[in-house]
Amino acid sequence: MTSRRFFLLSGVAIAAAAAFRGFRPEAIAAETFEVTKTDAEWKAILTDEQYRILRHEDTERPFTSALNTEKRKGIFHCAGCDLPVYSSEAKYDSGTGWPSFWEALPKAVGTREDTSLFITRTECHCSRCGGHLGHIFDDGPQPTGMRHCINGMAMTFSPASAA
């Protein structure tokens, strides 16, 4: 098979996997969350992109979120329920195009196995509302060695007040 054919077929496979990725109700149905809303209620409080990411496990394009380059001290919150999920103290530039952190705030993030792209990854979500945040990989910096690769649209940022 030529390189060009392989490249084209690989692209088709990736596109097909992404099309089938979407919302996995069976994964969320097994968990209960403090904040629950109907689909209509989520649509009413989130932007279209936030809704697709948080409620249907979509992914924003890399390098499109202003939070990727956010350098101020402060706290990142879940855009769905406002739970503080990450501190700027754990943020670093991974070069991937998404906000990256080496750890979440205590008890802020839940995880589950994600096999949607024909590989096994660790999906992470808000522990209070179940909103999809991103994925966790084991190629991050010390002290944890983890990289929480998070969709910027899944979060809001509150800068620390200058006291």
Task: Please list the active-site residues.
Answer: 149
Which of 97, 149, 104, 103 is closest to 128 using CA atoms? 104
Question: 3-class SS at 88?
Answer: helix
Residue with tokens 């969350």: 33
Residues recorded for the chain: 163
Q: Do residues 86 and 156 touch, judged by C-beta distance below 8 A?
A: no
> Hey, which residues does 155 pair with through a beta bridge?
78
Q: How far is the C-alpha of 160 from the C-alpha of 163, rounded, in Å?
A: 9
